[in-house]
């Protein structure tokens, strides 16, 4: 997006022979807004990285936390690197030190870092967070893990194809080695990017549905800050992917129409998209971080069915022999055993041995 804005403003030159910054650098309102947005969110992302590191240090189970939430750390680190590269290259372009062609080639790194940052955040939400929110139900949690993992694998394939084609186009353009076989690459890149963005939106819809299901069936998730964090995560993740899809459509399908109408309005729309893209990423990351570090999201397993022990029938205390006490026969028991040979009959609550007037004992 940043290179599109630079091209539309006509910034930069075709050579990089000047060693000093141009006097026209950052004179336009658009350039000031763009560099301000990047500087602002560089500070925001750095703060989020520090907060995530602090929470990891304070974690009592660091090995488990690192294994489960490592995509979160790599995501924010890649996004910070992408912002730094964009700031440096945009500054060089404004100062007329770097050409647009060099800017496009070096921006390959920013494209890779930015794409991987968003993808890792999507993968974390769909696999780790959804699985942990649904861990109270073993069957549903296992099914969601399998389906979401397969879907994230599809997203990874689409993203890698998109970034690989983008890298080939930019590298071949710099080397001026685009052949007839490469002429179809921009069209393929546009279609792969479209497929990836559409699938990302569908993936976040799936994740939001699972999170809503978890909130509806998990009363412990509707308490405290976790409830607000899950709701924010659903809204911001959907906003992030939908905005990326809208930006792709505007840049690759509606750009000519916007430019014919008003270039300034088109640049303002790109500035708004840039701000909202960073904003939704930051809010999604923050919500995911809160959910990941919440004590309410402890390892909760579904309770096993309680086995009710069958109670023994109650008898009179005088007739029931305790398994932990010696049985003390009464005087009539001895008399009964002396009169009848063989083993004593089994006594029950209606036995006549407890009645001295019984005719059997006379």
Using DSSP's 3-state secondary structure scheme, residue 13 falls into strand
pLDDT at 240: 97
Q: How do residues 6-47 score in pLDDT, each as one tens digit?
A: 545 444 444 444 456 767 678 888 889 999 999 999 999 999
The DSSP secondary-structure symbol of 181 reads: G
- Among 10-24, 177-191, 196-210, 265-279, which stretch is predicted with the lowest mean pLDDT? 10-24
**Which CATH number applies to 2-295: 3.40.50, 1.20.1070, 1.10.1760, 1.10.3470?**
1.20.1070
Using DSSP's 3-state secondary structure scheme, residue 223 falls into coil
Listed by start position, the domains of the chain span: 2-295
pTM score: 0.76
Q: How do residues 252-283 score in pLDDT, each as one tens digit?
A: 998 888 888 888 889 899 999 999 999 999 99
Distances (CA, A) of 93 to 11, 88, 270: 7, 9, 18
- Mean per-residue pLDDT, 169-178: 74
> Residue 73 and residue 345: Cα distance in Å, rounded?
78
Query: 291, 219 in Cβ contact below 8 A?
Result: no
Using DSSP's 3-state secondary structure scheme, residue 99 falls into strand
> Residue 68 and residue 299: Cα distance in Å, rounded?
12
Give me the chain's average pLDDT, please: 79
pLDDT at 18: 47
Phi and psi (nearest 5°) for 25?
Answer: -65, 130
Comparison of pLDDT for 12 and 126, the residue scoring more: 126
């Amino acid at each position: 997006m940043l290179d599109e804005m630079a091209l539309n403003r006509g910034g930069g030159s075709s050579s990089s022979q000047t060693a000093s910054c141009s006097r026209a650098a950052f004179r336009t309102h658009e350039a000031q807004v763009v560099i301000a947005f990047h500087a602002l969110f560089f500070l925001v992302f750095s703060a989020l990285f520090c907060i995530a590191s602090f929470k990891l240090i304070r974690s009592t189970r660091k090995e488990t936390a690192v294994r489960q939430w490592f995509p979160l750390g790599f995501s924010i680190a890649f996004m910070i690197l992408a912002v730094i590269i964009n700031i440096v290259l945009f500054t060089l372009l404004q100062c007329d030190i770097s050409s647009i062609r060099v800017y496009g080639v070096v921006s390959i790194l920013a494209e890779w870092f930015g794409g991987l940052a968003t993808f890792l955040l999507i993968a974390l939400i769909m696999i780790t967070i959804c699985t942990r929110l649904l861990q109270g139900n073993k069957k549903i949690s296992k099914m969601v893990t399998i389906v979401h993992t397969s879907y994230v694998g599809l997203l990874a394939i689409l993203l890698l194809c998109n970034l690989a084609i983008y890298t080939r186009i930019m590298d071949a353009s710099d080397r001026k080695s685009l052949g007839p076989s490469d002429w179809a690459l921009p069209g393929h890149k546009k279609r792969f990017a479209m497929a990836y963005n559409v699938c990302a939106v569908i993936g976040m819809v799936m994740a939001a549905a699972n999170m809503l299901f978890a909130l509806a069936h998990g009363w412990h998730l509707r308490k405290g800050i976790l409830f607000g964090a899950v709701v924010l995560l659903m809204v911001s993740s959907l906003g992030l992917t939908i905005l990326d899809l809208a930006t792709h459509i505007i840049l690759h399908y509606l750009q000519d129409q916007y430019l014919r109408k008003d270039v300034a309005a088109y640049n303002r729309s790109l500035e708004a998209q840039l701000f909202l893209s960073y904003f939704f990423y930051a809010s999604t990351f923050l919500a995911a971080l809160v959910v990941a570090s919440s004590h309410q999201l402890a390892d909760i397993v579904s309770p096993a069915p309680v086995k009710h022990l069958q109670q023994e029938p109650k008898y009179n205390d005088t007739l029931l022999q305790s398994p932990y006490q010696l049985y003390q026969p009464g005087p009539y028991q001895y008399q009964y055993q002396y009169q009848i040979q063989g083993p004593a009959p089994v006594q029950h609550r209606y036995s006549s041995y407890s009645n001295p007037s019984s005719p059997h004992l006379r």
